[in-house]
Structure 1
Amino acid sequence: MRQTGFIHHIGSFLLLVATVLLIVTSISAPAVKNISMLRVDIDRGTANGNNPVVTFGTFGWCTQDLIQSSDDCSGAHVGYDPSRVLAENAGLGAVDNSEFRFAAVRRLTNVMVLHPVAAGLAFISFLLALGAGVVGSLLSALAALLTFVVIIVVLACDFAAFAIVRHAINDDDDGVPGARASWGTAAWTLVAAAVVAFFGMLVVFFTCCSARLHRRRENRARAAPKTDYGAPERRRRWF
């Protein structure tokens, strides 16, 4: 039973780690400009090395090292158009070469509002895992399952949206000369959160089932009638 409790604490810790990773993803640009889902580096070929950088995050974007301009970040809002941001702030109008594709990107960026939602669900599952008893563990496993589903949905939408932008910039034939797009830190923290939340869910569910099975065996042992009263003492004969 003690070993099951230790394993349960491991599951609780994994859910806490998933919460932290999701928080890091949620506070990406514009909240923290160096944490991003996608980072676009633009080489202007200038002697002073002043090369613009555009970072896209959960609720907006940031621009850094622009010529004759200080670093700037957008206001926090749900959904935006990456191609328009690159055209207006970095002069990469050639990125917007397919209105249909980038219309889909604009819609997919709306789904990123699920980043903080997933973080909240992960934290709730962590709190439920701290509660004693089978019921708390079961509720925690269900909350962790819901967290994992939400993460998978937003993960698929994020990578689908920014993969379009990344391909449009990095494409060898139709890409943008002097520009390079790469996945940012927030993209990988989201992937890590999905993996950690999945294993946390499995561990908590396993310990829940194990504790329930152990308790059921104890109840059966207590309710079972006593049948072994011992052999009768053999009488001694005196001669």
Structure 2
Amino acid sequence: MVRPLQTYRIISLIAFTLLVIAFVLLLLVGLSSTIIKPIYLILVKSAVDVQPPQNVATELRFGVWGFCASSPRDHSSMDGECFGPQLGYTVPPSVRELAGLPDTAINVIETSLRLILVLHPVAAGLAFLTFISSLFLASHAISILTLFLAIITGLVTAVVFGIGLSLGFVVRDGLAINPDFKFIVQFGDGVWMMLGALILTWLAVIFLSARACYCCGVRRKDLGEEKF
């Protein structure tokens, strides 16, 4: 039979593990292209094969700190030219012309990613504070503080994830208006990593709530918190 103290420790360990993984995911997305090239938020690529291969940008991968452009002559999508890391967000006119993307789509991407650029470090910073705080869940006061931080982190992550989703839909719809532009818009792995961090954070909120309110068979007198 699992004792109340063991239940408490299991709940605390699960919450800590969830928060650590969520922080790592948010940190990796926060360092996405161009710092970590394989991680990006939005992929805009040509739906038309360019034959023979030319130095025309047919793929644009947008991350938090810039973007990378690749052409059919690149051996892999990671071999293209990257612009960044940079504060702010500007796609050079030369790249716009080579890719053939309309200015309206580029402007939407630039504006949205500026907001993500600000919120990602905030979300990652909150996640860091939350998992550090979860190291001290033996204190009831700290467990309440950790729960509060986790809720704030979950809300900020939800906003960032929502912006990432809306960015993809807006760019896709903007390109669909003009049938002359044959481009495909896809979500990058960074968006799904944000979703994972969001789910893990709210799962941690559930376990932290159980810890803070002495649920799941855990009672204050069973823990004897004065010993911790």
Same fold (TM over 0.5): yes
CA 1:218–1:139 in structure 2 vs 1: closer, same or farther (change >3 Å)? closer
Which residue number corresponds to residue 29 of structure 2?
Answer: 25
1:92 and 2:86 equivalent?
no
Q: Are the counterparts in 2 of residues 30 and 57 from structure 1 also a CA contact under 8 Å?
A: yes
Q: Deviations over 1:180-233 (max 9, x none)?
A: 1110000111111111111112211211211797225788xxxxxxxxxxxxxx
**Aligned AA (2:100):** L
**Aligned mates of 2:164, 2:94 — CA distance in 1:** 17
Aligned-CA RMSD value: 3.0
**Aligned mates of 1:32, 1:86 — CA distance in 2:** 21
**Aligned mates of 1:13, 1:20 — CA distance in 2:** 11
Which residue number corresponds to residue 45 of structure 1?
Answer: 50
**Aligned mates of 1:140, 1:6 — CA distance in 2:** 16
What secondary structure is seen at the aligned counterpart in 1 of 2:64? coil
Which residue number corresponds to residue 69 of structure 2?
Answer: 63
Which residue number corresponds to residue 36 of structure 1?
Answer: 40
Which residue number corresponds to residue 153 of structure 1?
Answer: 159
**Aligned AA (1:196):** L
1:195 and 2:202 equivalent?
no
Q: CA deviation at 1:80?
A: 2.3
Q: Are the counterparts in 2 of residues 147 and 197 from structure 1 also a CA contact under 8 Å?
A: yes
What secondary structure is seen at the aligned counterpart in 2 of 1:7? helix
**Aligned AA (1:210):** Y
**Aligned AA (1:92):** G
Which residue number corresponds to residue 233 of structure 1?
Answer: none
**Aligned AA (1:148):** G
Which residue number corresponds to residue 227 of structure 1?
Answer: none
- Count of equivalent residues: 211
CA 1:49–1:85 in structure 2 vs 1: closer, same or farther (change >3 Å)? closer
Which residue number corresponds to residue 187 of structure 2?
Answer: 183
1:114 and 2:119 equivalent?
yes
**Aligned mates of 2:165, 2:93 — CA distance in 1:** 19
**Aligned mates of 2:94, 2:84 — CA distance in 1:** 13
CA 1:104–1:200 in structure 2 vs 1: closer, same or farther (change >3 Å)? same
What secondary structure is seen at the aligned counterpart in 2 of 1:210? coil
**Aligned AA (1:165):** V
What secondary structure is seen at the aligned counterpart in 1 of 2:12? helix
CA 1:163–1:176 in structure 2 vs 1: closer, same or farther (change >3 Å)? farther
CA 1:52–1:104 in structure 2 vs 1: closer, same or farther (change >3 Å)? closer
1:73 and 2:82 equivalent?
yes
**Aligned AA (2:85):** A
What secondary structure is seen at the aligned counterpart in 1 of 2:69? strand
Q: Are the counterparts in 2 of residues 60 and 77 from structure 1 also a CA contact under 8 Å?
A: yes
Alignment gaps of 5+ in structure 1: 220-239
Which residue number corresponds to residue 11 of structure 1?
Answer: 15
Q: Are the counterparts in 2 of residues 78 and 109 from structure 1 also a CA contact under 8 Å?
A: no
What secondary structure is seen at the aligned counterpart in 2 of 1:55? strand
**Aligned mates of 2:185, 2:91 — CA distance in 1:** 12
1:127 and 2:132 equivalent?
yes
**Aligned mates of 2:178, 2:30 — CA distance in 1:** 32
Q: CA deviation at 1:105?
A: 4.6
Q: Deviations over 1:144-173 (max 9, x none)?
A: 11111111222222222332112223x2x5
Q: CA deviation at 1:16?
A: 0.7
CA 1:24–1:210 in structure 2 vs 1: closer, same or farther (change >3 Å)? same
**Aligned AA (1:116):** P
Q: After the TM superposition, which segments of 4 or more aligned residues of structure 1 sit over 4 Å from their partners?
A: 48-51, 81-86, 101-105, 216-219
Q: Identity over aligned residues, as a percent?
A: 24
What secondary structure is seen at the aligned counterpart in 1 of 2:185? strand
Which protein, 1 or 2, shows the higher relative CO under an 8 Å CA cutoff with sep ≥ 6? Answer: 2
Alignment gaps of 5+ in structure 2: none
Q: CA deviation at 1:7?
A: 1.6
